[in-house]
Amino acid sequence: MIEEAREILAKAGFYNTERVNTYNMSFDVMSRRDDALLIVKVYLNADSIRKEGSGEMRLLSDFLKGSPIILSVKMSRKPLDDGVLYLRHHIPIMTLATFSDMLLEGVPPLVFAGPGGYYVNIDGPAVAELRNGKGLSLGALAEAIGVSRKSIQMYEQGTCPTVEVAMKLEKVLGQPLIRGLDPFDVEAPAPGTIPLHDIDAAHTDILSKFDNMGYEVAPTVKCPFNALSKDRFSLLLLGIGRTRGVAGRASLISNISQVSEKQAVLILETASKENIDGAPVIRYRELKKILSPEELMELIQERS
């Protein structure tokens, strides 16, 4: 499924990262096309989604200005339907077929799964205009559809009806009313971050240094890199640790940096090189001497 998703993205003109070959990572592939960045995770069963993993996907989306999406086959022991948008932990979920139709055919999902059934987004103002044009009162249209007068009023104001009600509205009013859904137009609460005192003690001093320099710091636990840090001018993907452990991830971190268009930096305990696979290296002892973001960025540019 991951390879199928990568092929769909490539055909749609997206530039993909290398595959993240670790099951417990918060994403499997990042993909960019122009200003659009997708952060994609694949699950055979959407019930496998855990709050911490989805929370980190939303954190990445918030920092990287991207859109998270989960591709799956089933949920709650039932197969997912094609053409239907699902939601879990404020992240859109869909089948590969729906994903393909959306990216390759320009056909967005029309139906979303909500409490108690399937719903659609309709053109509320058009309902009011057509109703008035036919000389129908709220009550008359409500009676024809089999809903309450209040329901019709709510549909005209933007409330989403069930698929059955929407189809009845289209039949009575004689015009298409159902509109395609934007899977990425999902309101979600601001993602939380892990407090610095709750992370690996070996990383606490490093991230505290960034915090003291005025960076907003967000540790990660399910990413190839160890943290995100940003100030008003830049965002950094930080790989932190011993040289041997981080160097093995350097190529992937650098690849993610290229696709996300954000700067990767390796903060290593010791290192003989000043750049590994395209990612600049800063040693622990060097970081301790840096006093400002400007000084840090100057060193990063020298070693990029």
* Bridge partners, residue 31, by sequence: 16, 38
- Angle, alpha carbons 88-184-87 (nearest 5°): 15
Say which residue the tokens 């189809």 belong to: 167
Q: Is the pLDDT of residue 43 over 60?
A: yes
Residue among 265, 284, 260 nearest 38 (CA): 260
Q: Is the pLDDT of residue 192 over 90?
A: no
From CA 203, how far away is CA 195, in angstroms rounded?
12
User: What letter represents residue 3's amino acid?
Assistant: E
pLDDT tens for 134-176 read: 999 999 999 999 999 999 999 999 899 999 999 999 999 999 9
**pLDDT value of position 201:** 61
Looking at residue 26, the DSSP 8-state letter turns out to be S
Beta carbons within 10 angstroms of residue 137's beta carbon:
12
Question: Three-state DSSP class for 249?
Answer: helix
Q: What b/e readout covers 144-183, taking b as 16+ CB neighbours within 10 angstroms?
A: ebebeeebbbebbeeebbbbebbebbbebbeeebbbebeb
> Which domains does the chain possess?
2-109 (3.40.1350), 118-179 (1.10.260.40), 196-303 (3.40.1350.10)
pLDDT tens for 96-138 read: 999 999 999 999 999 999 888 899 999 999 999 999 999 999 9
Beta carbons within 10 angstroms of residue 119's beta carbon:
20
For the purposes of burial, counting CB atoms within 10 Å of the CB of 230, is it exposed (0-12), middle (13-18) or buried (19 or more)? middle
